[in-house]
Amino acid sequence: MSPSLSQTEISIASARRIALAAQGFSQARPTGRIDKRHLARVIDSVGLIQIDSVNVLVRSQEMPLFSRLGNHPRTLIPNATEASELFEYWCHEASHLPVSMHPLVRWRMEEARKGTMWPGLTRIAKAKPQLVAEIRDRIYNDGPIVAGDVRTRKGPKGSWWDWDEGKAVLEYLFWTGEITARRRPNDFARVYHAPHHVLPEAVLNAPTPKESDARKSLLLLAARSVGIGTAGDLVDYHRQKPTVAKPLISELVATGELEQVRVERWREPAYMVPSAAQPRSVSARALVSPFDSLVWCRPRIERLFDFHYRIEIYVPAPKRIYGYYVLPFLMGERIVARVDLKADRHTSELVVPGAFSEAGVDVKVVAAELLLELQEMATWLGLASIRIEKNGDVATRMAVQNRRR
């Protein structure tokens, strides 16, 4: 690549490899003991892990680690949270973030206080200041609570301790940063804590950067994680406002912290950090959650991989094309298939309702590689066997291969 990246066109194949490397897919999966160092490696690549409650296969926040590390202890994220290395906040959607990012999202906490992000919560908080103070003091003085705990005074709808108002106040305090939360393992409920009880003192006492500086830092982190992307890609990664963030991208280009390039067939300019890895090849094999940062931005995935992706959880069953919980299957440098999956915990089976190839792939090879990945997933989830239903060309081929084993 020439020194003048602004004059350079990068091929779509190179852009794909840059993006995969940035997301941690160019590194081989570890073969030995997997521990918190490997979690740190993944977090360093992806920046944050989206939290979602869908549990048809496994809670989605667990999948990015499996996609990049393979079979690993499922306690890595809970342990890191307990060790105050990760915290939950809204920074794409609800996400696990490294605690070092706390100062970078304080401007968003301030927006919540002003009511520019969640005006409904702010209205309730302003209407019930005593309730806000009471709940905050209870958490600070007595320790963590869940939403159900604020129903200590049952009464008609609209009363102080009505469920809706109590939950709204908890969420208001959470979004404003006055309290924080961890997830209860048995039912995934938020458990609300005082920040100084669970977050490092050094983090809470760290200076709060100017909003524009924090936003620029987030854009740089986004650029590191996407590898190469349009302004829209960078803005989407932490859900910033385009009108505010795009001028900051120009400033980062002017200072040399970002480089503007052209990508083959992309209509808009692209941006990357000067140190972005540019591997000659990528040999990945991974099932990717619908909520993985690799595929968050659907238009970007279509541009990069020629892969049109729609999650069909909310589509009525008769209208679904591929299935309820469909994961892209990454093999090498391409997304080669989409796989409908669920874990049947009663029968201890990893169930494959369907698996479908993308155009131009060798179905026999894809089926063989996918079967290996499913076997590793079943082991990781503690499931005894794999049940493959014959919906889709890859599933049909895998069913044959699985019987021969």
DSSP assignment of 50-102 equals E-----SSS-GGGHHHHHHH-S--TTHHHHHHHTTSEEEEESSSEEEEEGGGG
Predicted TM-score (pTM) above 0.85: yes
The Cα–Cα gap between 14 and 4 comes to 17
pLDDT for 400 equals: 84
Nearest-CA neighbor of 382 among 355, 344, 352, 338?
Answer: 344
pLDDT for 86 equals: 98
Residue 235 CA from chain centroid, whole number: 15
The Cα–Cα gap between 238 and 335 comes to 24
191: helix, strand or coil? strand
CA angle 300/305/311 to nearest 5° reads: 65
The answer to whether residues 52 and 61 touch, using CB atoms and an 8 Å cutoff, is yes
The Cα–Cα gap between 59 and 188 comes to 9
Retrieve residue 93's tokens. 């959607």
The answer to whether residues 105 and 98 touch, using CB atoms and an 8 Å cutoff, is no
Residue 250 CA from chain centroid, whole number: 26
Instruction: Give per-10-residue mean pLDDT for the chain (405 aa).
Output: 57 98 97 96 98 92 97 97 97 95 97 85 90 96 93 48 74 96 90 97 98 98 98 97 96 98 96 96 97 96 96 93 97 98 97 97 97 98 96 94 72
CA angle 24/30/34 to nearest 5° reads: 105
The answer to whether residues 214 and 104 touch, using CB atoms and an 8 Å cutoff, is yes
Beta strands 94-98 and 49-50 are: antiparallel
